[in-house]
A and B are shown apart, each in its own frame.
Chain A
Amino acid sequence: MSTQTIDLTLKVWRQHKNNPRGSLETYPAKGISTDMSFLEMLDVVNEQLTAEGIEPIAFDHDCREGICGMCGAVVNGRAHGHMPETTLCQLHMRHFKNGDTIVIEPWRARAFPVIKDLVVDRNALDKIIQAGGYISINAGGPQDGNAIPVPRDNAEKAFNAAACIGCGACVAACPNASAMLFAGAKISHLALLPQGRPEAKKRALSMVRAMDTLGFGNCSNEAECEAECPKGISIREIARMNREFIKAALS
């Protein structure tokens, strides 16, 4: 791929304590290499803003390889931008055209208050896991790792569900700001493994209850979450969670 440079116009959500209601501000982004990642493009813009005495745009990021789940913003109305199964840090500028205007906003959900600009508080996702997203064993002397064979197919399905990076794009994409895909992924991951079965019912009940109390909405099968999930988590995980939940509620 040959490198080119493009000129863009950014409309970026700016919000902080001196501007608590927030507003979109317009900045030029000139001479952007198409090999850059979206976040590198923001770095370049931030260097320019700093030089002009404007406070740089706050945005969360860390690994920049699509695995930590720290980055994320709504780009032209799409969570993590328009490329399928791609986190914002892995979105590259070769997917934009010279002259494009790009609107960049934070995740918007009742359960994710804005901290500053594009940075939101996703603590509620940890709280859902605290409600039961684990297997209750202590470090110590568990049996040999090969004592319980796990059919390869199940192990793979469990892995696919466990691949969730906890970014919260599913919540941001959902018209009800529901966290069903996130919770479903964890509940399925553990329910698919023999080690996770003993607590499967209790887990489903308490994690679903936690979602309600934390202010996440309900699932009305819009499937927007699946479309925006950077890790390809399938809405089948929600169906599996519902089955676990119903089993638990009936017993």
Chain B
Amino acid sequence: MTLESKIPAGPLQDKWDRHRFELKLVNPANKKKFNIIVVGTGLAGASAAATLAELGYNVKNFCIQDSPRRAHSIAAQGGINAAKNYANDGDSIWRLFYDTVKGGDFRAREANVYRLAQLSVNIIDQCVAQGVPFAREYGGLLDNRSFGGAQVSRTFYAKGQTGQQLLLGAYSSLMRQVNAGKVEILPRREMLDVVLVDGKARGIVVRNLVTGELESHSAHAVVLATGGYGNAYFLSTNAMSSNVTAAYRCYKKGAHFANPCFTQIHPTCIPVHGTYQSKLTLMSESLRNDGRVWVPKEPGDNRPPGQIPESERDYYLERKYPSFGNLVPRDVASRNAKEQCDMGKGVGETGLAVYLDFADAIARDGRDVIAGKYGNLFEMYEKITGEDPYQTPMKIYPAVHYTMGGLWVDYNLMTTIDGLFALGEANFSDHGANRLGASALMQGLADGYFIIPYTIGGYLAGTKLPEVDASAPEFAESRSQIQSQVDKLLSVSGKRTVADFHRTLGNILWDYCGIAKEEESLKKAKQMIAELRAEFWENVTVPGDAADFNQALENAGRVADFMEFGELMVTDALERKESCGCHFNTAYQTEDHEALRDDDNYCHVSVWQYTGADSDPVLHTEPLEFENVELTQRSYK
């Protein structure tokens, strides 16, 4: 099969304009005849659902949580990028485009990234109009800061709660459409299957998480905005319910999965401190604007940080990367932290941490200024660790944070299943092999407010869609398959809990398919995951009933999918015999230990097709063509 990316012809700057003109329009009077399902209420889902309803479509919007406002986007801290150039420091759409393509180590589509940079400016205007209380300067204008790997100040923020404020903005637009009768919210529902009729996505089956009932919902198109799958690693900065299930079940139905091994490991998280630990907490990387990262020069030096004199500290990022210093991209910062700890220079009880020190910033700017910028983050750190970062340096360590991989989509954000679209973190997105800070929020909102409203219209106007309702046999078939999986999970009655399996899977992926990968260990991981998966179906214990509110059962389904998906991640990592961005195979590195790409053989998107639970997936590739930027070796020296 060929993957048609549907990138419009013409100069980069004109592609989106031209495409919008060429897309068919749905007559305004006809929009109300179309029903659209949007799964997910994060930035991507909520903005899409609200905007589609504003246009006149009838929308059903689903989420796992009890309210759409609680989607995981709520937790984003640092900010959102936009090429407004308010700071007059040389930013432009072209620069944001270039930074994003380069930051992604040249593994994203030029046309998509350029469109994203173009739309970034509209997002800020839209959010301000909604009442998002962004940080402002004394003159009353919007404030900007520089963020993760950028040399211009283009990041808009609302203290350390940018995601919360942006999501509440999108949620308020969504609530307005509920009030207008155009959106129906179905919370506490988990999508467990997409239903195809005549080869097109025509609905979904969800489990009502309160009653356990399997419900069928039909529509003319299905939009998936179900977020990322970082929880495959068990410990991550994602919310507890973040999952791969929705995307994975679409994959099983024919939506191909792109770059599943591209996982971002964020450098500044609170380190792990016990096996009971349920999640890792991110400390926004905006902290790296003022905090200095260091370790003791001598391995094994376990004096308290205050007793280690300046001359015996190694500010290794500043030393190795003089022009970017503490602001090197995430993958570089994470790898370096691991390297220092592997050399025995890690700090804290476990030796798996480095310091992030604010003493100089506090001495320079005063405690109040630092508190104004990071007060809530410092408080959060103190709540979790019991240590006060105003007095003693923070301890940080990398943690799984974001997944660049996702369902493959064309320029219209449509997957390889007709009528099934994927937005936000759930698609393979515009971030290539590494996402820059403050760019996920931008992408989610660009997808939801400004792209899908046009492209879905093109699909609906140009496709024959006979009426289908939830009584179609395809729905019954899907329900019965799900029911048998649920029954199976409940009937194993083994000895190990779901969380225990999940933890083991997470350890395998973290150790062998994490910050640094090797061929041999990847092969080992694949074997180990297969064995774990087999054990799961013989030895898992899931208490409670199917027809009930049953969190253990919810988790069991998610972990079962994570295990199958984990194998796909490893398969993908094995296949990509190069390093790029976050995908770092130790066999492929430059002399400076940077990721060494192989543009001759791997300048492509790896797109996997499902062929069955026990057979290997089939690889397709979408070549990436760069007409506007030169492929360079990233260097942050």
A interface, CB within 8 angstroms of B: 1, 3, 16-17, 33, 35-37, 39-40, 43-44, 47, 50-51, 53-56, 58, 60-70, 86, 90, 92, 94, 115-116, 119, 121-123, 125-126, 129-146, 148-152, 155-156, 158-159, 162-163, 165-166, 189-190, 193, 195-196
Q: Name the one of B124, B175, B500, B551 contacting A145, with C-beta atoms under 8 angstroms.
A: B124
Asked if B133 and A68 sit within 8 Å, CB to CB, the answer is no
Distance in angstroms from B271 CB to nearest chain A CB is 11
- List residues of chain A with CB within 8 A of the CB of B47: 139
Distance in angstroms from A155 CB to nearest chain B CB is 4
Residue of A nearest to B270 (CB): A65
Cα A189 to Cα B453 with chains together (Å): 29
Majority secondary structure, A binding face:
loop
Asked if A55 and B543 sit within 8 Å, CB to CB, the answer is yes
Residues from 24 to 68 in B contacting A, C-beta threshold 8 Å: 47, 50-51, 54, 65-68
- List residues of chain B with CB within 8 A of the CB of A61: 240
**B5-13, B251-259, B384-392: which one contacts chain A?**
B384-392
- List residues of chain B with CB within 8 A of the CB of A122: 66-67
Beyond A115-B549, A166-B69, 4 additional pairs, beta carbon < 8 A: A1-B387, A47-B500, A126-B68, A158-B131
Q: Name the one of B54, B72, B124, B497 contacting A139, with C-beta atoms under 8 angstroms.
A: B54
Cα A115 to Cα B210 with chains together (Å): 7
Asked if B278 and A40 sit within 8 Å, CB to CB, the answer is yes
Q: Name the one of A16, A53, A193 contacting B131, with C-beta atoms under 8 angstroms.
A: A193
Residue of A nearest to B158 (CB): A159
What are 22 of the A-B contact pairs (CB < 8 Å)? A3-B273, A36-B276, A37-B384, A40-B277, A43-B278, A50-B543, A50-B552, A51-B497, A62-B241, A69-B70, A86-B383, A129-B171, A129-B172, A135-B129, A137-B130, A142-B128, A145-B142, A149-B141, A150-B136, A151-B136, A155-B134, A162-B158
Cα A7 to Cα B97 with chains together (Å): 55
Asked if A1 and B240 sit within 8 Å, CB to CB, the answer is no
- List residues of chain A with CB within 8 A of the CB of B239: 62-64, 68
Asked if A65 and B240 sit within 8 Å, CB to CB, the answer is no
- List residues of chain A with CB within 8 A of the CB of B129: 135, 137, 142-143, 195
- List residues of chain B with CB within 8 A of the CB of A133: 172, 175
Distance in angstroms from B330 CB to nearest chain A CB is 19
Cα A138 to Cα B386 with chains together (Å): 45
Cα A152 to Cα B122 with chains together (Å): 22
Residue of A nearest to B552 (CB): A56
- List residues of chain A with CB within 8 A of the CB of B134: 145, 155
B449 contacts A by Cβ under 8 Å = yes
Asked if A155 and B136 sit within 8 Å, CB to CB, the answer is yes
Query: Inter-chain contact count A-B, CB under 8 Å?
Result: 216
Q: Name the one of A67, A129, A145, A151 contacting B125, with C-beta atoms under 8 angstroms.
A: A145
B2 contacts A by Cβ under 8 Å = no
B interface, CB within 8 angstroms of A: 47, 50-51, 54, 65-70, 72, 74-75, 84, 86, 122, 124-131, 133-142, 158-159, 161, 164-165, 168, 171-173, 175-176, 178-179, 185, 187, 210, 239-241, 273-274, 276-279, 281-282, 349, 380, 383-387, 449-450, 453, 497, 499-500, 541, 543-544, 548-549, 551-552
Asked if A138 and B65 sit within 8 Å, CB to CB, the answer is no
Instruction: Choose among A16, A139, A162 the residue with the greatest number of B CB atoms under 10 Å from its CB.
Output: A139
Asked if A68 and B70 sit within 8 Å, CB to CB, the answer is yes
Q: Name the one of B136, B172, B176 contacting A152, with C-beta atoms under 8 angstroms.
A: B136
- List residues of chain B with CB within 8 A of the CB of A50: 497, 541, 543, 552
Asked if A135 and B131 sit within 8 Å, CB to CB, the answer is yes
Asked if A63 and B75 sit within 8 Å, CB to CB, the answer is yes
Q: Name the one of B124, B159, B178, B274 contacting A130, with C-beta atoms under 8 angstroms.
A: B178
Cα A137 to Cα B128 with chains together (Å): 11
Assuming A50-B541, A135-B131, A139-B449, is B67 touching A16 (CB within 8 A)?
Answer: no
- List residues of chain B with CB within 8 A of the CB of A149: 136, 139-141
Asked if B497 and A47 sit within 8 Å, CB to CB, the answer is yes
Instruction: Choose among A62, A142, A165 the residue with the greatest number of B CB atoms under 10 Å from its CB.
Output: A62
Q: Name the one of A143, A146, A150, A152 contacting B86, with C-beta atoms under 8 angstroms.
A: A146
Cα A166 to Cα B69 with chains together (Å): 8
Cα A55 to Cα B137 with chains together (Å): 53
Distance in angstroms from A225 CB to nearest chain B CB is 19
Asked if A142 and B125 sit within 8 Å, CB to CB, the answer is yes
Distance in angstroms from B211 CB to nearest chain A CB is 10
Distance in angstroms from A168 CB to nearest chain B CB is 10
Asked if A70 and B66 sit within 8 Å, CB to CB, the answer is yes
- List residues of chain A with CB within 8 A of the CB of B141: 146, 149
Q: Name the one of A1, A70, A119, A156 contacting B70, with C-beta atoms under 8 angstroms.
A: A70
Residue of B nearest to A144 (CB): B125
Asked if A142 and B66 sit within 8 Å, CB to CB, the answer is no
